[in-house]
Amino acid sequence: MTQPAARSLTADLTDQVALVTGASRGLGRAIALELACNGARVACVARDRGALAETVEAIHAVGGRAAAHACDVKDRNSVEQVVDQVLAQWDRLDILVNNAGINRDTLLPGMRDEDWEEVLTTNLTGTFLFCRAVSRQMMRARYGRIVNIASVSGMIGTAGQTNYAASKAGQIGFARSLSQELAGRKVTVNAVAPGYIESEMTEAMGELVLGEVKKRIPAKRLGTAEEVAAAVLYLVSPAAAYVTGQVLVIDGGMTG
Ligand code: NDP
C-alpha cells in the first residue's frame, strides 16, 4: 500500500468532505489518501468493492476517515445516489476529484464504436455527471473545489489514443467553462494533466514501450501517483482560492 511519500506539502482540510472517483487503485487511491491525511473525510468511488475496501482500510490505518461507494461513473442514477448518500452521511461536500478513467488504445481505422463510447462515457460523461450532481450543493455553500484528472494526451495528442485524447481534452474544456460559471460562488474548477505516471494503466504498456517512453521524458523516469496527489492537494486547498480554469501539467518536462 502506498503512503504519501513526502509530507512537505500540507493543507488544512479539517471538517471538509471530499469525493474521489476511481479511488480503488492507482492515482485515485493516492489522492484519496493524501486528502484524508490532510484532514478531509473522503468518499471513495469506484466499481470494485474489494479494492475500494482496501483504500478505506489504508485511510483508516493512517487515522483518516473514509467511506466506500460502489458506483459506475457512467450511470447517472448511481452517481446522483452517491452524492445524496455523501450529503446524508456528512452533510457537506467541499471537494470533487474526477479521476476515474480508462483507455482503449488503437489506431482509428480499427477503433470499434464501443472503444469510443466506453472511453468517452467513462472519462467525460462521468465527469459531467458528478460535476452536475455536486454543483448545486457547492453553489449553495459558496465554496467548492473541483479537479478533473485529464492527461497531456488531451493537450498534445497521442497516436492510438483519439478516443482517450478527445475525452481528456473534453475534461479540460469542461473545467475551463465550468470555472467561469462557478467562480462568482467561490467554487474553483481546474484540471491536472499528468504525463506518464506509474500505475496499472502504464504497466499495461509493457517494459519495452516504457523504456522508449522514458527516453523521451526529460526527467528520465515516470512520475508517481503521490506526485500527482500533491498537485491535487494544492488545487483543493484553501490556499488555491484564486486559481481556477487552469491546467497543471505534471509530466517530468515532457511537454515543456
Ligand atoms: P487505473 O487504471 O490504475 O485506475 C483507474 C481507476 O478508475 C480505478 O479506480 C477504476 O476503478 C476507476 N474506474 C474506471 N472505470 C470506472 C467506472 N466506469 N466507474 C467508476 N470507476 C471507474 O488508472 P490510473 O490510476 O493510472 O489513472 C487514473 C486517472 O489518471 C485516469 O483518469 C487516467 O486517465 C489519468 N491519467 C493517468 C496517467 C498514467 O500515466 N497512469 C497519465 C495521465 C492521466 P474500478 O475498476 O474499481 O471501477
Cβ atoms < 10 Å from Cβ of 5? 14
| Closest C-alpha to ligand 1, atom 19 | 72
Q: At what angle do helices 126-141 and 76-90 cross, to 10 degrees?
A: 30
Q: Report the SS3 class of residue 146.
A: strand
- 2 close to 225: Cβ distance less than 8 angstroms: yes
Residue 26 CA to ligand 1 center (angstroms) comes to 7
- 248 close to 195: Cβ distance less than 8 angstroms: no
Judge if the beta carbon of residue 29 lies within 6 A of ligand 1. Answer: no
Residue 179 CA to ligand 1 center (angstroms) comes to 23
Q: Which residues contact 99 (CB under 8 A, 6 or more apart)?
A: 20, 21, 22, 23, 27, 28, 31, 149
Judge if the beta carbon of residue 200 lies within 6 A of ligand 1. Answer: yes
234 is catalytic: no
Q: Report the SS3 class of residue 155.
A: helix
**What local confidence, expressed as pLDDT, does residue 97 receive?**
99
> In DSSP terms, which residues pair with 20 in a beta bridge?
44, 97
Residue 227 CA to ligand 1 center (angstroms) comes to 16
Profile the chain (256 residues) by mean pLDDT over runs of 10 residues. 63 98 98 98 98 98 98 98 98 98 98 98 99 98 99 97 98 99 98 97 92 96 98 98 98 96
Judge if the beta carbon of residue 93 lies within 6 A of ligand 1. Answer: no
**What local confidence, expressed as pLDDT, does residue 8 receive?**
73
Write down all domains in the chain, each with its CATH number in brackets.
Answer: 17-195+226-249 (3.40.50.720)
Set 143, 164, 196, 234: catalytic member: 164
Judge if the beta carbon of residue 84 lies within 6 A of ligand 1. Answer: no
Judge if the beta carbon of residue 73 lies within 6 A of ligand 1. Answer: yes
Query: Which atom of ligand 1 is nearest the CA belonging to 47?
Result: 48
As given in the structure block, the three cell numbers for residue 38 are 490532510
**What local confidence, expressed as pLDDT, does residue 6 receive?**
52
pTM over 0.95: yes
Instruction: Tell me how far apart the alpha carbons of residues 173 and 99 are, in angstroms, rounded to a whole number.
Output: 16
| Closest C-alpha to ligand 1, atom 21 | 46
Q: In the chain, what is the straight-line distance between the N-terminal and C-terminal CA atoms, in Å?
A: 32
CA 250-255-103 angle, to 5 degrees, is 65
